[in-house]
A and B are shown apart, each in its own frame.
Chain A
Amino acid sequence: MNIALGIIVRVSIALVTGLLFAGIARKTLARLERRYGPPFWQEFFDIIKLFLKRERVSNVFGLSCIIFAIASLLAASMFIPVGNGMPFDSPACLITIYYLIMAAYLAILLGLSESNGLYSIFSNARAGIFIIGYGLVFITIIISITVRYNSSSLIAVASGQIGGFTHWNIVTMPVGFIASMIMLHGVLTRKPFGALIADEVSVTGFGSKTYAFVRFFYAINIYIHTALITVLFLGGGTGFLDFTLKQFLLFIVVVLLEPVFARYRIKRALGIFLFMAGALAFVQLILNLYIL
């Protein structure tokens, strides 16, 4: 019963936080561009509106893939220690989280590829290429962290940073943090990596409810990656509010940097992922292996 309650609470937190952050991003970007912009709760209204509409097309495989992608991301979020703990008695292994995220990405790619959009496959192939870049950076960061703590458990990582700001990995592993911020930029599909998963192309022909699920996916994606970097580099959190505030800070930095950049072509974006973020993550790995 406690586990079920824990799961429901965690799912709710992930959805609400993700949608809230997405709404804040829209509003912030609008203000930076001297527009009024939608209210930050607009995302919730959009989702409710989409869910209340009748579905026109039934694409069972595409829909199942999208739901499986959301389920995988939510399952991954269960393994991230937020504040006081987690729904399961689990060591919160980074490996499990990584594979669940990759499962989610593969599923969303397959799901969106089944849309009626004429160019959806090209959009999703670009996204697939980008996910490889993201994955290569992420695995290097995972191994750097594992080298430092001699464990892939997020609980060990969070408890290793107890003792104040100077113990946080943002201070002790700054190169890795920069790499992970570039990765965060990309994985949240913010410029210069923006719109790699072009949802307006990919979801053409899907019903409104399915599109609502896709919006859920992006919201949980925001939640899970900000939560991960909070635990990996910002010492996690002692409570829910503390943790969410750190997540928000990370997210808002990414959003504020967005207008500075132009959108990159896919080849350049991949190059930056592999040869800038990847190289930085690798440097951190070497530092952790042989110097720190």
Chain B
Amino acid sequence: MNLVFIAIALSLIFGAISIVFLNRVKYIRWILFLINSAFQGYVALRIIFSDSPLVDTFVLPFEAPAIGMPKLLLQSSQPGVFFFSISVFITLLIAIFALSSKRKDHCENIASSWMILMAGNAGIFFAGDWITFLLCWEIVSWSAYFIISAKNEEKTKAGINFFTISLISTSALIGAIFIGITGADSFLIADSIAYYLTLWDKGPVMAILTVSLFAVSFFAKAAVFPFHSWFIPAFKQSADEFSVFLCGVFNKYGIFALIVFVLPIFTKSYNGATFAEIPFPIFILCVLAVIGAIWNAISAFRENKIDGFIAHSSVSQIGVILCVMILGRNTGFVSALVYLLAHSIAFAGLTLTASGVKIATGEEKFSKLGGLSRRMPFTFVLFCIFALSIAAIPPTSGFLSQWLVLQNLFRNRFFITSLVVLFVSTISILYIFRAIYGIFLGDNKRFSSIRGDKFLRVISAVIPALILLAIGIAPGIIIRPLNETAQSLGYNTIISETFFVVVSGSVMDFGILAASVFGLTAFGIAFYLIGGRVSKSRAAVYSPQLRIHDKIFQPVEDVFSKILDLFSIDKFFNGIGFEFNRLSSALQRWFNSPQFGIIVLVLMIAGILIIGRVL
């Protein structure tokens, strides 16, 4: 039995134990969670440094009709290991963070359900057959539902919202899997993918249907337009720790599945219509991702709460990543992987530090926060590093990823997409300014007694911050392993040494860039210190209770709200729900009179049979 099986089993056992036996000592659940995460981290390291790929089969101890005893296959692949490593790393950080808090609501059933979720998490990334994949996909969805809706009525609403979209996602996934299984006559994912590749030769209808079903399923999971509406309330209403997981890991499941199942369908076997040399279905997916990116970037700076701006910003950048990944010609795929890594770490870190602020102050509105830079200096510096990375400020890894992505888009002449990428990062400057100022700067005497820099919270954020800076200065350390992942999927690689990168003929030495920015800053500080003595006393009068106002960016909001108010995706889904409700009420009324219901049913069946016969 291999390590991944043990990791999955351990997660399930720990989850079950903490649900059944640890009701009175709930704090121990987080310790178990930390142990479980640490073990998964160990498994990830073992797989990364292992020479041979992992393959193992587990036979379930019962017989199912038609297929006999189901076999669960686990096998490692480069993308699976990459995504698993990110997910485990972020979960480990969350586990460290969670131990720092002794609030009562932290020790509800979140940790127990989350350990079960981690079993599904490992299974998704290592599944070799559809049964394992679907089983783990569902474990993740159900556990997440319980975690999101763990507490009050608001959370339950967010949970139901999430569950409804998950239901759509799973239904579409089952449809696509069914096509693969019946075509390939096998439950193995590899066989189904080989079958999907032949679909274009057999006629476009089935191929487009498969792609559409997969796209619906994975876009819903990745919270990409038009299925992003679950993410924002889920992020806002979840426990702080799970919000970190949502934006750092959860929306990557859809991206992983898209890479492994959908993108191969558009390799050389594609012979359908194209638009600007892009397969037409891919073009449609890109348009959706781009709309989502712009929409959420604008929504992010309209938000005046910490959670709202992080959630919208995360979804916006996921749209960009997905678009670049789908268009991943030449070296685009590696660029998108770097972006994805930077996104995961930066947003996880940002949410961790923001959660620290929320726990310490109990506030989340920018207009009610402020002045925390002196009360929580470490959190402040770390928050700034993550925020700067999200705004792609050199020399963070956010800038590295933007540079790679834009060079690749330019090279492939995807200029409109590059305009969107630049637009999203330009808008981010505004909301990052509001967030940093609103939370940490200015003055707010209300929090003068707070000392919020807890050791474990700082440690959990220091590690990702250092990684972000290290990757931004020396990109070679991450690009070389990511090249291997891209190569395993048949994509081109990026030429890179420790400090410099070559993309499509453009060379950039990130070491020199960092040295010039930091060197000139150091020179400026030295220049400042030369000469007159510096008094350490503060000014006698400091701006009294100066805080950022909710409507501080009203002119920009006025300009962009015209775009946002044109169409509401929430109202669209609400409309669909309302129509379903009406239909079900109508059906209910029919069956109040049994004879009428049976007549309608018989007529419907007859109609379907006649139509089927005619066609």
Identify the A interface with B (CB < 8 A).
Answer: 7, 11, 51-59, 61, 63-64, 67-68, 70-72, 74-75, 78, 88, 90-91, 93, 95-96, 98-100, 102-103, 105-106, 109-110, 113-114, 116-118, 120-122, 124-125, 128-129, 131-132, 135-136, 139-140, 142-143, 146-147, 150-153, 205, 207, 209, 213, 266-267, 270-271, 274, 285, 289
Given contacts A96-B508, A131-B430, A270-B556, 10 further A-B contacts (CB under 8 A): A58-B534, A59-B538, A71-B524, A95-B402, A102-B426, A103-B393, A113-B442, A116-B539, A129-B555, A139-B419
Known contacts: A58-B538, A117-B543. The answer to whether A128 contacts B508 by CB under 8 A is no
Asked if B49 is an interface residue, CB under 8 A from chain A, the answer is no
Min CB gap B367→A, angstroms: 11
Q: List 15 A-B contacts (CB under 8 A).
A: A52-B532, A54-B535, A55-B533, A59-B538, A70-B520, A71-B520, A91-B506, A95-B403, A103-B517, A128-B429, A132-B430, A143-B422, A146-B415, A146-B418, A151-B506
Asked if B267 is an interface residue, CB under 8 A from chain A, the answer is no
Min CB gap B122→A, angstroms: 37
- Cβ–Cβ contact B524 & A114, under 8 A: no
Cα distance A122–B549 when bound, in Å?
Answer: 9
- Measured between beta carbons, the chain B residues less than 8 angstroms from A131 are 429-430
Cα distance A11–B516 when bound, in Å?
Answer: 11
- Measured between beta carbons, the chain B residues less than 8 angstroms from A95 are 402-403, 406-407
Known contacts: A67-B528, A68-B521, A270-B556. The answer to whether A132 contacts B509 by CB under 8 A is no
Cα distance A57–B553 when bound, in Å?
Answer: 30
Among B13-21, B164-172, B432-440, the stretch that binds chain A is B432-440
Instruction: In the A-B complex, list the 3 residue pairs whose CB atoms are closest, starting with the nearest.
Output: A71-B520, A67-B524, A135-B426
Cα distance A205–B535 when bound, in Å?
Answer: 13
Known contacts: A61-B373, A68-B521, A70-B524. The answer to whether A106 contacts B433 by CB under 8 A is yes
- Which of A51, A113, A132, A270 contacts B531 (CB under 8 A)? A51
Minimal Cβ-Cβ distance residue in B for A142 = B422
Min CB gap A220→B, angstroms: 11
Known contacts: A52-B532, A143-B419. The answer to whether A67 contacts B521 by CB under 8 A is yes
Known contacts: A53-B532, A63-B528, A110-B433. The answer to whether A132 contacts B513 by CB under 8 A is no
Min CB gap A73→B, angstroms: 9
Minimal Cβ-Cβ distance residue in B for A7 = B516
Identify the B interface with A (CB < 8 A).
Answer: 373, 388, 391-394, 399, 402-403, 406-407, 410, 413, 415, 418-419, 422-423, 425-427, 429-430, 432-434, 436-437, 441-442, 505-509, 512-513, 516-521, 523-525, 528, 531-539, 541-544, 546, 548, 552-553, 555-556, 558-559
- Measured between beta carbons, the chain B residues less than 8 angstroms from A63 are 528
Minimal Cβ-Cβ distance residue in B for A114 = B441
Cα distance A172–B323 when bound, in Å?
Answer: 32
- Cβ–Cβ contact A136 & B433, under 8 A: no
Cα distance A113–B399 when bound, in Å?
Answer: 24
Min CB gap B309→A, angstroms: 14
- Which of A7, A51, A105 contacts B429 (CB under 8 A)? A105
Cα distance A143–B423 when bound, in Å?
Answer: 12
- Cβ–Cβ contact A132 & B556, under 8 A: yes
Minimal Cβ-Cβ distance residue in B for A66 = B524
- Cβ–Cβ contact B531 & A128, under 8 A: no
Minimal Cβ-Cβ distance residue in B for A282 = B419
- Cβ–Cβ contact A52 & B531, under 8 A: yes
Q: How many A-B residue pairs have CB under 8 A?
A: 203
- Measured between beta carbons, the chain A residues less than 8 angstroms from B406 are 95, 152
- Measured between beta carbons, the chain B residues less than 8 angstroms from A102 are 391, 393, 425-426, 429
Minimal Cβ-Cβ distance residue in B for A62 = B441
- Which of B437, B441, B535 contacts A56 (CB under 8 A)? B535
Cα distance A51–B536 when bound, in Å?
Answer: 17
- Cβ–Cβ contact B415 & A113, under 8 A: no
Cα distance A147–B415 when bound, in Å?
Answer: 7
- Cβ–Cβ contact B426 & A121, under 8 A: no
Min CB gap A151→B, angstroms: 7
Cα distance A103–B512 when bound, in Å?
Answer: 17
- Cβ–Cβ contact A57 & B430, under 8 A: no
- Measured between beta carbons, the chain A residues less than 8 angstroms from B523 are 71
Cα distance A209–B524 when bound, in Å?
Answer: 11
- Cβ–Cβ contact B430 & A128, under 8 A: yes
Cα distance A75–B388 when bound, in Å?
Answer: 17
- Measured between beta carbons, the chain A residues less than 8 angstroms from B548 are 121, 125
- Measured between beta carbons, the chain B residues less than 8 angstroms from A118 are 543-544, 546
- Which of A72, A88, A116, A125 contacts B542 (CB under 8 A)? A116
- Which of B388, B422, B507 contacts A139 (CB under 8 A)? B422
- Cβ–Cβ contact B508 & A93, under 8 A: yes
Cα distance A151–B407 when bound, in Å?
Answer: 9
- Measured between beta carbons, the chain A residues less than 8 angstroms from B544 are 118
- Cβ–Cβ contact B442 & A121, under 8 A: yes
- Cβ–Cβ contact A58 & B429, under 8 A: no
- Cβ–Cβ contact B535 & A122, under 8 A: no
- Cβ–Cβ contact B433 & A128, under 8 A: yes
- Measured between beta carbons, the chain A residues less than 8 angstroms from B373 are 61
- Which of B437, B505, B520 contacts A75 (CB under 8 A)? B520
- Cβ–Cβ contact B559 & A116, under 8 A: no
- Cβ–Cβ contact B521 & A71, under 8 A: yes
Cα distance A65–B418 when bound, in Å?
Answer: 29
- Cβ–Cβ contact A129 & B553, under 8 A: yes
- Cβ–Cβ contact B430 & A64, under 8 A: no
Min CB gap A53→B, angstroms: 6
- Cβ–Cβ contact A109 & B423, under 8 A: no
Cα distance A63–B548 when bound, in Å?
Answer: 20
- Measured between beta carbons, the chain B residues less than 8 angstroms from A75 are 394, 513, 516-517, 520
- Cβ–Cβ contact A121 & B394, under 8 A: no
Cα distance A172–B543 when bound, in Å?
Answer: 51
- Cβ–Cβ contact A152 & B520, under 8 A: no
- Measured between beta carbons, the chain A residues less than 8 angstroms from B429 are 102, 105-106, 128, 131-132, 135
Cα distance A118–B542 when bound, in Å?
Answer: 8
Minimal Cβ-Cβ distance residue in A for B518 = A71
- Measured between beta carbons, the chain A residues less than 8 angstroms from B505 are 151
Q: Determine which residue in A75, A93, A100, A213 has the highest number of CB atoms from chain B within 10 A of its CB, and name it.
A: A75
Minimal Cβ-Cβ distance residue in B for A136 = B426
- Cβ–Cβ contact B506 & A152, under 8 A: yes
Min CB gap B520→A, angstroms: 4
- Measured between beta carbons, the chain B residues less than 8 angstroms from A117 are 543
- Which of A52, A114, A122, A139 contacts B552 (CB under 8 A)? A122
Min CB gap B378→A, angstroms: 13
- Cβ–Cβ contact B553 & A99, under 8 A: no
Cα distance A274–B558 when bound, in Å?
Answer: 13
Cα distance A113–B433 when bound, in Å?
Answer: 10
- Cβ–Cβ contact A213 & B528, under 8 A: yes
- Measured between beta carbons, the chain A residues less than 8 angstroms from B422 are 98, 139, 142-143
- Measured between beta carbons, the chain B residues less than 8 angstroms from A52 are 531-532
- Cβ–Cβ contact B437 & A110, under 8 A: yes
- Measured between beta carbons, the chain B residues less than 8 angstroms from A91 are 506-508
- Cβ–Cβ contact B506 & A113, under 8 A: no
- Cβ–Cβ contact B524 & A121, under 8 A: no
- Measured between beta carbons, the chain B residues less than 8 angstroms from A146 are 410, 415, 418
- Which of A7, A116, A128 contacts B553 (CB under 8 A)? A128
Cα distance A213–B523 when bound, in Å?
Answer: 13
- Measured between beta carbons, the chain A residues less than 8 angstroms from B559 are 270-271, 274
- Measured between beta carbons, the chain B residues less than 8 angstroms from A68 are 517, 521, 524
Minimal Cβ-Cβ distance residue in B for A56 = B535
Min CB gap A103→B, angstroms: 4
Min CB gap B128→A, angstroms: 41
- Measured between beta carbons, the chain A residues less than 8 angstroms from B413 are 147, 150
Known contacts: A71-B517, A143-B415. The answer to whether A54 contacts B533 by CB under 8 A is yes
- Measured between beta carbons, the chain A residues less than 8 angstroms from B537 are 56-58
Minimal Cβ-Cβ distance residue in A for B504 = A151
Min CB gap A179→B, angstroms: 14
- Cβ–Cβ contact A90 & B535, under 8 A: no
Cα distance A103–B523 when bound, in Å?
Answer: 18
- Measured between beta carbons, the chain A residues less than 8 angstroms from B546 are 118, 121
